[in-house]
């Protein structure tokens, strides 16, 4: 560990000691909070020299206060992104539930645990044996409110949207989004999770999401990271998929100054499957980094991982996709298609596929590329009379659309496409495509 990160780890422990009396024990008990901060302190903050943190921007953490923030602004509902039909929306502001902004009636599948309500949930800073749960431990130690979704209706899909809004400055305090999702056997869940910023403060967000996909259940999880230009967004997601269950994750990583997502998906039961689709678009000095581990722990499990990342200006985009096939996972099928695009001479793209196989009879394929726009494609478009700027934009768009088109909620896909076009600085030129 470096001296600077040791100091920061110590400062976080001190902040926790003074914040502890005010942290709601009904959300997480005092003992669990102490255990979490103890486990975190023993291991320390991640640093870039550690293998799976090489691409992340961890510097912004040094300017952050880890004590939970007090919500600053009052929000106008009109400032929030458009709702998606059929999805009941619930809103958290700086890690605290905002009932006045949320869907008027409680959803039968949703429990909000907040000050004064009992948290019967288990430990949700899931053990990430393969990835890394250190930041999740910090969430456990400091969390304010949280939500639990339990899909139990086998007759109809459960459709819920949770929006986490950050308003506070990082120097003033952090926000700790916290979600536990459980789907019972044979259920279907559609779940939209957004992270946005309102106002111009440099927020610090440290989220934890834990998902249990039951036997034969299906989860479609749509995650949009659209935090502010100065925000630091840290995220730990873990999912466990039971026999015949399916977990599909769509992540659009757009915002933030520093955005890091650590994901571990365990295919625990036979024929469990997962699809991870990630798009990441970064410009300016943004750093986007995803470390995603898929574990095939049972026979005939299937995984597909797709990544498309574009880095412009001085931005850095990293994707580290690891697949581990355990000894019992006979007949596992795993496919990885990871592609990065450099859209500026000072940009950086790091795409890294990793495969560890401990059994025979598996089909694993992976393709990883990082490069510039295809010269042949570019010339083809120019030879048809297209302006060079437009041709480049169109090819960047097509590169992303390959994965974005897989978002099967048309209204949400439209929102993601508009956000991507905005991020690419040329909404007008792309208007015909939207």
Partner 1 sequence: MNTLLNIDNLHVAVGDKKVLNGLTLQVPAGEVHAIMGPNGSGKSTLAHVLAGRPGYEITAGTVSYQGTDLLALAPEERARAGLFLGFQYPVEIPGVNNVYLLKAAVNAARKQHGLPEVDAFDFLTLVKEKMQLMQIDESFLSRGVNEGFSGGEKKRNEILQMLILEPKLAVLDETDSGLDIDALKIVANGVNSLRAPERSFVLVTHYQRLLDYIVPDRVHVLVRGRIARSGDRELALELERRGYDWISQEAA
From the list 127, 284, 380, 408, which residue makes contact with partner 1 (rule: CB under 8 A)?
Answer: 380
Q: Is 428 in the site for partner 1 (CB under 8 A)?
A: no
- Note the helical H segments in 268-338: none
Question: Which helix (H) or strand (E) element contains residue 412?
Answer: helix 410-423
Residue 328 φ/ψ region, left for φ over 0, alpha for ψ in the -120 to 50 degree band, beta for the rest: alpha
Nearest residue to 398 via CA among 346, 352, 341, 317: 341
CA atoms of 160 and 146, how far apart (whole Å): 15
Q: Is 381 in the site for partner 1 (CB under 8 A)?
A: yes
Stretch that binds partner 1, among 54-62, 78-86, 108-116, 384-392 (CB under 8 A): 384-392
From the list 328, 350, 401, 426, which residue makes contact with partner 1 (rule: CB under 8 A)?
Answer: 401
Tell me which residue has tokens 């498309």: 308
Q: 130 or 386, CB closer to partner 1? A: 386
Q: 221 or 396, CB closer to partner 1? A: 396
Q: Is 100 in the site for partner 1 (CB under 8 A)?
A: no
Residue 395 beta carbon to partner 1: minimum distance, rounded to whole angstroms: 7
Residue 387 beta carbon to partner 1: minimum distance, rounded to whole angstroms: 6
Q: Is 376 in the site for partner 1 (CB under 8 A)?
A: yes
Nearest residue to 131 via CA among 267, 414, 321: 321
Q: 126 or 420, CB closer to partner 1? A: 420
Residue 35 dihedral angles phi and psi, to the nearest 5°: -60, -45
Q: Is 76 in the site for partner 1 (CB under 8 A)?
A: no
Tell me which residue has tokens 């005092």: 30
The answer to whether the CB of 271 falls within 8 A of the CB of 242 is: no
Site for partner 1 in 231-290 (CB under 8 A): none
Which DSSP category does 135 fall into?
H
Q: 120 or 376, CB closer to partner 1? A: 376
Residue 161 φ/ψ region, left for φ over 0, alpha for ψ in the -120 to 50 degree band, beta for the rest: beta
Q: 358 or 380, CB closer to partner 1? A: 380
Q: Is 156 in the site for partner 1 (CB under 8 A)?
A: no
From the list 377, 406, 418, 426, which residue makes contact with partner 1 (rule: CB under 8 A)?
Answer: 377
The answer to whether the CB of 280 falls within 8 A of the CB of 288 is: yes
DSSP string, 192-247: EEEEEE-SS---EEEEEEEEEE-TT-EEEEEEEEE--TT-EEEEEEEEEE-TT-EE
Q: Is 402 in the site for partner 1 (CB under 8 A)?
A: yes
From the list 144, 399, 407, 413, which residue makes contact with partner 1 (rule: CB under 8 A)?
Answer: 399
CA atoms of 105 and 115, how far apart (whole Å): 19
Q: Is 375 in the site for partner 1 (CB under 8 A)?
A: yes
Q: Is 395 in the site for partner 1 (CB under 8 A)?
A: yes
Q: 229 or 386, CB closer to partner 1? A: 386
Site for partner 1 in 315-374 (CB under 8 A): 374
From the list 390, 414, 418, 422, which residue makes contact with partner 1 (rule: CB under 8 A)?
Answer: 390
3-state secondary structure of 250: strand
CA atoms of 99 and 101, how far apart (whole Å): 5
Residue 310 beta carbon to partner 1: minimum distance, rounded to whole angstroms: 13
From the list 398, 408, 410, 425, which residue makes contact with partner 1 (rule: CB under 8 A)?
Answer: 398
The binding site for partner 1 (CB under 8 A) comprises 374-377, 379-388, 390-391, 394-395, 397-402, 405, 432-433
């Amino acid at each position: 560990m470096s001296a600077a990160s040791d100091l920061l780890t110590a400062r976080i422990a001190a902040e926790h000691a003074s914040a502890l009396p005010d942290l709601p024990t009904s959300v997480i008990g005092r003992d669990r909070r102490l255990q979490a901060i103890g486990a975190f302190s023993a291991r320390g903050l991640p640093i870039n020299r550690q293998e799976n943190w090489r691409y992340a921007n961890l510097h912004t953490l040094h300017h952050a206060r880890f004590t939970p923030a007090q919500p600053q602004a009052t929000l106008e509902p009109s400032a929030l992104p458009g709702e998606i039909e059929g999805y009941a929306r619930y809103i958290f502001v700086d890690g605290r539930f905002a009932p006045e902004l949320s869907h008027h009636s409680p959803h039968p599948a949703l429990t909000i645990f907040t000050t004064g309500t009992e948290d019967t949930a288990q430990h949700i800073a899931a053990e990430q044996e393969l990835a890394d749960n250190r930041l999740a431990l910090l969430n456990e130690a400091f969390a304010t409110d949280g939500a639990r979704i339990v899909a139990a209706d086998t007759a109809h899909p459960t459709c819920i949207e949770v929006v986490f809004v950050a308003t506070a400055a990082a120097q003033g305090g952090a926000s700790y989004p916290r979600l536990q999702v459980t789907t019972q056997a044979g259920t279907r869940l559609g779940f939209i999770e957004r992270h946005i910023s309102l106002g111009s403060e440099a927020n610090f967000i440290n989220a934890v999401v834990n998902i249990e996909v039951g036997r034969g259940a299906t989860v479609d999880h749509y995650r949009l990271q659209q935090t502010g230009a100065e925000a630091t967004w840290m995220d730990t997601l873990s999912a466990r998929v039971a026999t015949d269950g399916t977990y599909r994750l769509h992540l659009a990583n757009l915002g933030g100054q520093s955005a890091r997502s650590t994901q571990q998906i365990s295919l625990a039961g036979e024929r469990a499957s997962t699809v991870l689709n990630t798009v990441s678009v970064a410009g300016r000095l943004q750093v986007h980094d995803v470390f995603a581990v898929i574990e095939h722990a049972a026979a005939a499990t299937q995984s597909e991982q797709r990544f498309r990342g574009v880095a412009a200006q001085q931005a850095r985009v990293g994707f580290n996709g690891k697949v581990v096939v355990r000894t019992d996972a006979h007949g596992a099928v795993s496919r990885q298609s990871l592609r990065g695009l450099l859209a500026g001479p000072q940009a950086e793209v790091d795409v890294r596929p990793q495969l560890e196989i401990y059994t025979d009879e598996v089909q694993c394929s992976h393709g990883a590329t990082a490069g510039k726009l295809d010269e042949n494609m570019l010339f083809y478009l120019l030879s048809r009379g297209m302006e060079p700027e437009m041709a480049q934009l169109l090819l960047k768009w097509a590169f992303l659309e390959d994965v974005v088109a897989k978002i099967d909620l048309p209204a949400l896909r439209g929102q993601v496409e508009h956000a991507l076009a905005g991020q690419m600085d040329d909404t007008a030129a792309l208007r015909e495509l939207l």
